[in-house]
Structure 1
Amino acid sequence: MSKEQRAALRAELRRAPQPEGPRSIEELRAGFRALMAQMRIPDGIRTKTTELGPRPALLVEPAGPDPAPRPGTILYFHGGSFLLGSPETALCLTANLVVRTKIRALSLDYRLAPEHPFPAAVEDCLAAYRALLDAGEDPGRIVLAGDSAGGGLTVTTCLAARDAGLPLPAAIVAFSPGLDATRTGESVDSKAGDDPFFTRDGLERSGALYLAGQDPRHPLLSPAVHADPAGLPPMLLQVGTDELLLDDSTRMAERARAAGVDVVLDVTADVPHVFQAYSGSLDEADQALDRAALFLTQHVR
């Protein structure tokens, strides 16, 4: 059944109509909201808008007959190429982690490019993490998680926290993270016929809006190839083989291992970017989320 599910998803994504000509940021954001609104959100959660540091956030908690959450916090960073998305577009992912772990999540509404280019997103994520620490949260009970651009922010936020002398969180979980603004991974070209979402040209256009003239070799833009990950917490990197960003994860894992970091590289065959969002219709998505939840609960004190 799983092979049929993967084939059906691939065919569905390839049938999706592609708009002609360039689209405005507003149109791109609306399209992304519409795409993510199709994803299934599991029962057993309740949500509340709140603030974390200087930014809005969405609190996602377990609900039901025994709603008491486990101690700890999942600090979640949504995807969207640093241009799109919000805590609401990532709710299918945060809700699944909360339901599976019984740990609350705070999903951050960080600033987006092009209005707020690099390093605004990293600054907001670091401020959110610092706000949790200032509120008395034990860093050993905080996990950073995210998808796509937000997956990259889990790593760069930890790098920024380390360099600021802050205690680091218990672990990192990154779904299809973007970790190389230089686009030098072999998969950016070798997976061009497999990836239903990205092209090199598209990645370079969106990347240019986020970089706003900054050197893509900056460690907080391309940690997979230009950062020193020494001292980072254990990390789980989940990625599919049908992704242009595949080598962002494989090279990050290799670099982290060489620096003495505990890392799990979890590669699933024949699935697209952030395939975990297809929970409920793709077996691999649910299995990957189960593995991510196990990783989280193993590392939260």
Structure 2
Amino acid sequence: PAAYEDALTAWRFLRSEAIPASHVAVGGDSAGAGLTITLIGRLHDAREELPACAWLVSPWTDLTMSGSTLASKAVVDPIIHKEYLNELADAYLPTGMNRKDPRVSPLYGDVNGFPPILIQVGSDETLLDDATRFASAAGAADVRVTLEIWPDMIHAWPLWNAHLDDGRRALVNACAFIRAHL
């Protein structure tokens, strides 16, 4: 997928500007959070220096859509639903690509040796299982993971930080996490 290549191109640009990997935090929300994980995996597999840390908001980590909260939280999350995610996945994936391929579903990838990760997810979002299952896999691989499950929050709520106190608090937490690792 093009985004997979674009993430690496952006990383390589930063490195070409002599910015040390240890001075870079990477992050994203939703599909961008999944892309963040796949970028780190790609760098790790190539034995390149890794970013200092990663910040993931409402990560979409499993394009097979096997998380139970896709159904159980569908009534309370007004933004993300399984049908919509299937449309996005169909548009994103090259014909014939397996949805379990770690390049698009980082839940199924090897995360050994990854830098510290902050995951922020709402308790009322359909991608809650994607976040918690990825956090569990990363923790089992001895990755330093901080998982924040925010009560009553929906998908990518920190984006509404201008209007939500919890959005502002989530950003404050993310800034503190990033500063601690840069």
- Classify the TM-score, shorter chain: over 0.9
Q: In structure 2, the residue corresponding to 1:179 is in which secondary structure? A: coil
- More strand as a share of residues: 1
Whether 1:169 and 2:51 are equivalent positions in the alignment is yes
CA deviation digits over 1:73-122, x for unaligned, max 9? Answer: xxxxxxxxxxxxxxxxxxxxxxxxxxxxxxxxxxxxxxxxxxxxx2x111
Aligned to 1:238: 120
Alignment of 1:45-84 (within 5 A): none
Aligned to 2:9: 127
CA deviation digits over 1:215-259, x for unaligned, max 9? Answer: 1010111112x1110011000010101111111110110000000
**Higher relative CO (CA 8 A, sep ≥ 6), structure 1 or 2?**
2
Distance 1:231 1:220 in 2: 17
| Ranges of 4+ aligned residues in structure 1 off by more than 2 Å | none
Whether 1:276 and 2:149 are equivalent positions in the alignment is no
Code of the residue aligned with 1:147 in structure 2: it is D
Unpaired runs of 5+ in structure 2? none
Distance 2:124 2:79 in 1: 10
Whether 1:153 and 2:35 are equivalent positions in the alignment is yes
Displacement after TM superposition at 1:288 (Å): 0.6
Aligned to 1:218: 101
Code of the residue aligned with 1:270 in structure 2: it is D
Deviates most, 129-138 or 265-274: 129-138
Tell me which of 221, 227, 241 is aligned to 2:109: 227
Code of the residue aligned with 1:242 in structure 2: it is D
Whether 1:202 and 2:104 are equivalent positions in the alignment is no
Whether 1:294 and 2:176 are equivalent positions in the alignment is yes
Whether 1:256 and 2:142 are equivalent positions in the alignment is no
Displacement after TM superposition at 1:154 (Å): 1.1
Contact 2:60 2:130 in 1 (8 A): yes
Displacement after TM superposition at 1:195 (Å): 0.9
Displacement after TM superposition at 1:212 (Å): 3.0
What TM-score, normalized to structure 2? 0.96
CA RMSD of aligned residues (A): 1.0
CA deviation digits over 1:171-211, x for unaligned, max 9? Answer: 00011111110100111111111110122111111111111
| Aligned positions, number | 181
Distance 1:177 1:150 in 2: 7
Whether 1:179 and 2:179 are equivalent positions in the alignment is no
Aligned to 1:139: 21
Distance 1:163 1:248 in 2: 23
Distance 2:113 2:103 in 1: 16
Code of the residue aligned with 1:201 in structure 2: it is E
Distance 1:128 1:165 in 2: 18
Distance 2:40 2:129 in 1: 20
What TM-score, normalized to structure 1? 0.59
- More helix as a share of residues: 2
Tell me which of 234, 241, 266 is aligned to 2:148: 266
Contact 2:113 2:143 in 1 (8 A): yes
Larger Rg: 1
